Amino acid sequence: MLTINRFLSVLFMITVSALFGSFITYYVGEQNTKAKIIATNFHQVMHETSYNISTELNNLNNLNNFKALLDRKAAQNHLISALVIARGKQILLTTDHSIRKLPKHIHHHTQHQSVNRHFILDNSVHELEFEVYQQNKPIQLSLLLFANQPEIKNYFADTYYQYFVFFIIPTLLVFLFLHQLLKKFLVKPLEKLRLFAYYHDRTPQPLKIKELETIRSSMLQTFQLLSSEKQALYRSSRTDALSELPNRYQLNERLEWLIEESKRTNTPFAYLFLDIDNFKKINDTLGHDAGDEIVVNVAKIMQEALRAYDIIARVGGDEFVIILSKYQNLIELNHIIDRVLLKISQEQIVSNQSINVSASIGVAFYPKDGTDGQELMKSADIAMYEAKKQGRNQHHYFTEELNQRIQIEVNLEKELHLALKNNEFELYYQPKVSSKTKNIIGIECLVRWNHPEKGLVPPGEFITIAEQSGLILPLGDWILKEAIENQLHWQQQYNIQLPVSVNVSALQFSHKDFFNKLETLVNELNFPANFLDIEITESVLMENTQEHLNTLKKIRGLGATISLDDFGTGYSSLAYLKIFPINILKIDKSFLDDYDSKSGAIFIETIVNMAHNLKIDVIAESVETEDQLNFLKQINCEAYQGYLCSKPLPEKEFIELVKNSLSTQA
Amino acid sequence: MLKIKLILIATFFLLSSCSSQQPSTPIKLTTNSWIGYSPLFYANEKGWLKKANIKIFPLVSLGENMMTFKMGGFDGLTGTQFEYQKVNSQNHNLVPAIMFNRSNGGDMVLSNRSVKALETTKETVDVYLESYSVNTLVFNAFVKSHNLSHKHFNFINKDQLKIVTLIKQKTIQKPTIVVTYIPYNLEIVKHGFNVIDSTKDNPNIMVLDALYVDKNVLNQRHQDFVTLKKLVNKAINNLNENPKEYYEVVKSYIENPSYEDFNKSLKAIKWLNDELSDELLQKMNEINFQTRKLI
């Protein structure tokens, strides 16, 4: 099938060929006409000349009298180069004396011969035989006309150039122009319409030609209508008509995508199955319209309570699925679920009646509780029935172990809140001791929780929960403030002034207000910052490098020092020691435990030497024996912490320890 | 769409009709001053030829006529059998189409001496003639009839108008012969020349005047020549019916003779516009004068 472009090209080629054919025919005709004019001209010249001679010449000896006539005829006609009168092969008279003998190829002139361009160009000498009378005897003579071939060629060439310039080139230009016009106003718009027909998103600009524009606008309207209907159909096929939430089809689609994403990033997500409690009873007592109203309300509540990227779908009459993929930890997840349940359980006005609605949620996790939609739904459904069984308006995790662990963590979080409120935290202090002198040269503050029931809870059991729940921020603030205030108090009360080290968690350090709070605290309490040491872990160096570097520099600018805690346990690069302004490097307990092996000793010595080379002091942690201390002395490790000197002590005991130490020194 | 179709059809028919109405090329004929061709002059002056799409080109003499025809661009010429054969000998293909007349004294030999005096004279006799015309035939027949072949002749080859001019310019004492035809004889006889022989007096001389046409042209446009033949007949009829009127119309073509001379000249020819006698046809065949294409 022909394209419009090819069709036009063929049409143009045919038209141009036909026109050029006409031009060529006309051109050849004109050339032949010219040839005939030239031939007639030669014919007339030869006949007139020969007639003049034949009527005037009485004696052949007087032929020279006609020299003037011949010269004139040859000179007047630029197409003639010479005229010659010959008798047989003897030249009697010539206008060109360079012609001494007759050429071999002579065209004998007759009136009835076909004359064309080639005839004129091929025959350069024309001959006409005529008679003269010498007395009453006829003598046969020949008049030879030598054509001026270059002039004749130019004469024909003029026509050629004129045709080329005035016919061929203008015609070509006109056709090219027409072709461009048609291309612009017909071919390209048609091509755009064709593309528009295939790809509806490529809407062409309004077209110049009315009919094409009508087609374009009609297509546009049709496609817009189709598109809106398609979208509506697509939406209705994927959306629950009542709640306008995604339906089961869309849920599965998005779930498949999320499963693929989770596989790739190795990140779990939570699959929640929510069922409205006593929904049948509501339907039976208040009617199905009220039931529908509750479904709509619950859907709205969930949309408001959750984030835009959380998936909420209606999969049954009163059944919903929620997929939560972005949560920091299980505690946060727990909070989200509780928030949803709390909002649902608030009093609702349905059919002008105030009723209490609640829901139960079963929680399953991908991939632990199921690797596809069906398995996840089954697990979450089981968990949901467990929640119903346990009294409704609550959530339940699919695995009992997790259920219990989360319960513990949630309770712990609640207790931490109370602990902060009830001032149940207490600082313990562990001295930093000089390896050489055994003098106390500093203090590390360590938090302890005096649980009213459980007794003293070590930080390992609650710091993680505090970090997950965000309680680490107020707790960290309390520790910092308590440490500084106590230090000031000791100074005033006991004249004890030792650098105090405070551990700052990564979360606390990353907080945008951390430095401002620290600076405010130091300034408000008028605490000499050079007696404050901030202990951070390697993880601080690895996250938000530039921001943390700026914070560290500001802390140093304040006058405080920086200690890098638990050195060697993380994945820190040696380059960090060069980049970050670290004052003290604390060798982790795990290295000291292995000090008596050859490789362990080399490791510790290497760390100490490297730190010294970088102008960083070194403190060894968890030193418990004299042998360990002696080793540290050997490798010039400045200080240590550990049970060899003292375990972390409550304030009173620590003050006694310091006093004794000071008295011993004295 | 219907309108466009109608416009296209109308344009097509208009162009077609224009092309069909284009006039054909006129028939071009060369002729010369001769009383025998005066029907052509008459028809031309009356505008009949124009209507018939025929154009004539009158020239002064037979020789001029022949030369002009040979230059090309003409479909036929009037002339005697001499011109007819001369032209055909030069690669032409002429055929006699319309007979005009037979010279019956119209071609003649004039001299300032009598035939007797010419026979006896010892002097060289100057002979004025158009060598390349029927004059040569007339002169040869004259010489043969009067046994003058032993005489010394000095031939002076000129066309008739120049001969008349030369005769008028000088008083000729030498024995001189002029071979001429009507109407040039009228002026020459005024200068001491008398008719010593003519086609009327000499049965050996037959001079036929006709229109010779290219064979192809005659075939292609035969009907036009039939029309011309009718016009010639019509002109001769008018001549018979009203000679004076005829004379007034054609006199400028034949050197403006007097009405009397015109009437005399008419007697020197015999019209051949009607059917030709068998005797004449036989004679025409004898001199290779084709008659098959005669209209």
Per the domain annotation, does B19 fall within a domain?
Answer: no
Quick one: B252 and B275 in the same domain? yes
Give chain B positions within 8 Å (CB) of A145: none
| Interface contact flag, A136 B155, Cβ < 8 Å | yes
Among candidates A43, A54, A110 on the partner chain, residue whose Cβ is nearest the Cβ of B132? A54
| Interface contact flag, A111 B132, Cβ < 8 Å | no
| Nearest residue to A361 via CA among A312, A309, A288 | A312
Which residue, B156, B174, B198, sits at the end of a domain?
Answer: B198
A35-39, A259-263, A567-571, B136-140: least confidently modelled range: A567-571
Probe site for chain B from A54, A111, A113, A211 (most B CB atoms < 10 A): A111
Task: Identify the band that residue A51 occupies on the pLDDT scale cut at 50, 70 and 90.
Answer: confident
Q: Smallest CA–CA separation between A28 and chain B, in Å?
A: 21
Per the domain annotation, does B66 fall within a domain?
Answer: yes
| Interface contact flag, B155 A135, Cβ < 8 Å | yes
Quick one: B174 and B242 in the same domain? no
Q: Smallest CA–CA separation between A35 and chain B, in Å?
A: 15
Domain count, chain B: 2
Q: Which domain holds residue B138?
A: 107-198
Show the tokens assigned to A339. 């928030």
Residue identified by tokens 């002169």 is: B139
Give chain B positions within 8 Å (CB) of A47: 67, 70-72
Per the domain annotation, does B83 fall within a domain?
Answer: yes
Residue A243's pLDDT is 92
Residue A595 in 3-state DSSP?
A: coil
On the question of pLDDT at B20 being above 50, the answer is: no
What is the distance between the alpha carbons of residues A369 and A533, in angstroms, rounded to a whole number? 46
Element (H, E) at A125: strand A125-134
Task: Identify the band that residue A281 occupies on the pLDDT scale cut at 50, 70 and 90.
Answer: confident
Pairing of strands A90-94, A80-87: antiparallel
Show the tokens assigned to A371. 């690797």
On the question of pLDDT at A571 being above 80, the answer is: no
Contact A115, A39 (CB under 8 A): yes
| Interface contact flag, B155 A110, Cβ < 8 Å | no
Interface of A with B (CB under 8 A): 40, 43-44, 47-48, 51, 54-58, 110-112, 129, 131, 133, 135-136, 138
Residue A664 in 3-state DSSP?
A: helix
Among candidates B63, B71, B156 on the partner chain, residue whose Cβ is nearest the Cβ of A47? B71
pLDDT in tens, A206-241: 998 999 999 999 999 998 998 899 988 988 888 998
- Interface contacts (A, B; CB < 8 Å): 53
Among candidates B63, B91, B139 on the partner chain, residue whose Cβ is nearest the Cβ of A112? B91
| Interface contact flag, A111 B70, Cβ < 8 Å | yes
pLDDT in tens, B69-122: 887 789 999 999 988 998 888 777 899 999 999 988 889 999 999 999 999 999
| Interface contact flag, B155 A55, Cβ < 8 Å | no
Quick one: B129 and B184 in the same domain? yes
* Residue in A with minimal Cα distance to B129: A136
Q: Smallest CA–CA separation between A131 and chain B, in Å?
A: 8
What is the distance between the alpha carbons of residues B283 and A236, in angstroms, rounded to a whole number? 119
Among candidates B63, B91, B131 on the partner chain, residue whose Cβ is nearest the Cβ of A111? B91
Task: Identify the band that residue A109 occupies on the pLDDT scale cut at 50, 70 and 90.
Answer: low
Which residue, B198, B226, B253, sits at the end of a domain?
Answer: B198
Task: Identify the band that residue A488 occupies on the pLDDT scale cut at 50, 70 and 90.
Answer: very high
Quick one: B97 and B59 in the same domain? yes
Among candidates B72, B93, B156 on the partner chain, residue whose Cβ is nearest the Cβ of A58? B156
Residue A305: CB partners within 8 Å, gap ≥ 6?
Answer: A336, A339, A340, A343
Probe site for chain A from B83, B87, B128, B157 (most A CB atoms < 10 A): B157
Give chain A positions within 8 Å (CB) of B159: 55
Query: Terminal CA-to-CA distance of chain B, rounded, Å?
Result: 56
CATH of domain A413-657: 3.20.20.450
Residue A113's pLDDT is 65
Q: Which CATH architecture has domain A247-398?
A: 2-Layer Sandwich (3.30)
A74-83, A546-555, A614-623, B131-140: least confidently modelled range: B131-140
What is the distance between the alpha carbons of residues A379 and A90, in angstroms, rounded to a whole number? 131
- pLDDT above 90 covers a percentage of chain A that reads 49
What is the distance between the alpha carbons of residues A619 and A608, in angstroms, rounded to a whole number? 9
Q: What SS3 string covers chain B?
A: CHHHHHHHHHHHHHHHHHHHCCCCCCEEEEEECCHHHHHHHHHHHCCHHHHCCEEEEEECCHHHHHHHHHHCCCCEEEECHHHHHHHHCCCCCEEEEEEEEEECCCEEEEECCCHHHHHHCCCCEEEEECCCCHHHHHHHHHHHHCCCCCCCEEEEECCHHHHHHHHHHCCCCCCEEEEEECCHHHHHHHHCCEEEEECCCCCCCCCEEEEEEEHHHHHHCHHHHHHHHHHHHHHHHHHHHCHHHHHHHHHHHHCCCCHHHHHHHHHCEEECCCCCCHHHHHHHHHCCCCCCCCC
Quick one: B150 and B274 in the same domain? no
pLDDT in tens, A394-442: 999 998 887 788 888 888 888 999 999 999 999 999 999 999 998 999 9
* Residue in A with minimal Cα distance to B64: A51
Q: Smallest CA–CA separation between B263 and chain A, in Å?
A: 32
Task: Identify the band that residue B44 occupies on the pLDDT scale cut at 50, 70 and 90.
Answer: very high
Among candidates A48, A56, A131 on the partner chain, residue whose Cβ is nearest the Cβ of B71? A48
Q: How many helices (H) and strands (E) does chain A have?
A: 24, 22
| Interface contact flag, B132 A131, Cβ < 8 Å | yes
Query: Terminal CA-to-CA distance of chain A, rounded, Å?
Result: 111
| Interface contact flag, B72 A44, Cβ < 8 Å | yes
On the question of pLDDT at B21 being above 70, the answer is: no
Q: Smallest CA–CA separation between B132 and chain A, in Å?
A: 8
Contact B114, B107 (CB under 8 A): no
Residue A514's pLDDT is 93
Contact B76, B212 (CB under 8 A): yes
pLDDT in tens, A590-644: 888 888 888 889 989 999 999 999 999 999 999 999 999 999 999 999 999 999 9
Give chain B positions within 8 Å (CB) of A44: 71-72
Per the domain annotation, does B236 fall within a domain?
Answer: yes
Give chain B positions within 8 Å (CB) of A40: 72-73
B285: number of Cβ within 10 Å: 11
DSSP 8-state assignment for residue A65: G
Give chain A positions within 8 Å (CB) of B212: none
Show the tokens assigned to B23. 């006039």
Which residue, B153, B170, B198, sits at the end of a domain?
Answer: B198
Among candidates A47, A57, A111 on the partner chain, residue whose Cβ is nearest the Cβ of B67? A47
DSSP 8-state assignment for residue A109: P
| Interface contact flag, A55 B157, Cβ < 8 Å | yes
Residue ranges covered by each domain of chain A: 4-165, 203-238, 247-398, 413-657
Probe site for chain B from A36, A43, A48, A51 (most B CB atoms < 10 A): A51
Task: Identify the band that residue B240 occupies on the pLDDT scale cut at 50, 70 and 90.
Answer: very high
pLDDT in tens, A304-352: 999 989 999 999 999 999 999 999 888 889 999 999 999 999 888 887 8
| Interface contact flag, B90 A44, Cβ < 8 Å | no
Give chain A positions within 8 Å (CB) of B137: none
| Interface contact flag, B92 A138, Cβ < 8 Å | no
- A424 Cα distance to chain centroid: 53
Q: Smallest CA–CA separation between B64 and chain A, in Å?
A: 8
| Interface contact flag, B67 A111, Cβ < 8 Å | no
Q: Which CATH architecture has domain A4-165?
A: 2-Layer Sandwich (3.30)
| Interface contact flag, A135 B154, Cβ < 8 Å | yes
pLDDT in tens, A111-129: 556 788 888 888 889 888 8
Contact B291, B96 (CB under 8 A): yes
Q: Smallest CA–CA separation between B155 and chain A, in Å?
A: 5
Residue A387 in 3-state DSSP?
A: helix
Interface of B with A (CB under 8 A): 63-64, 67, 70-73, 90-93, 127, 130-132, 136, 139, 153-159
The CATH number of whichever domain residue B211 belongs to comes to: 3.40.190.10
| Interface contact flag, B155 A138, Cβ < 8 Å | no
| Interface contact flag, B93 A44, Cβ < 8 Å | no
Classify burial at A310, counting beta carbons within 10 Å of its beta carbon; exposed 0-12, middle 13-18, buried 19 or more: buried
> For the residues B212-222, what does the mean pLDDT come to?
93
Q: Smallest CA–CA separation between A9 and chain B, in Å?
A: 24
Residue B109's pLDDT is 94
| Nearest residue to B79 via CA among B289, B292, B243, B293 | B289
* Residue in A with minimal Cα distance to B136: A136
Per the domain annotation, does B16 fall within a domain?
Answer: no
Backbone angles phi, psi at B273, to 5 degrees: -80, -20
Q: Smallest CA–CA separation between A199 and chain B, in Å?
A: 34
On the question of pLDDT at A134 being above 90, the answer is: no
Residue A640 in 3-state DSSP?
A: strand
* Residue in B with minimal Cα distance to A44: B71
Residue A597: CB partners within 8 Å, gap ≥ 6?
Answer: none
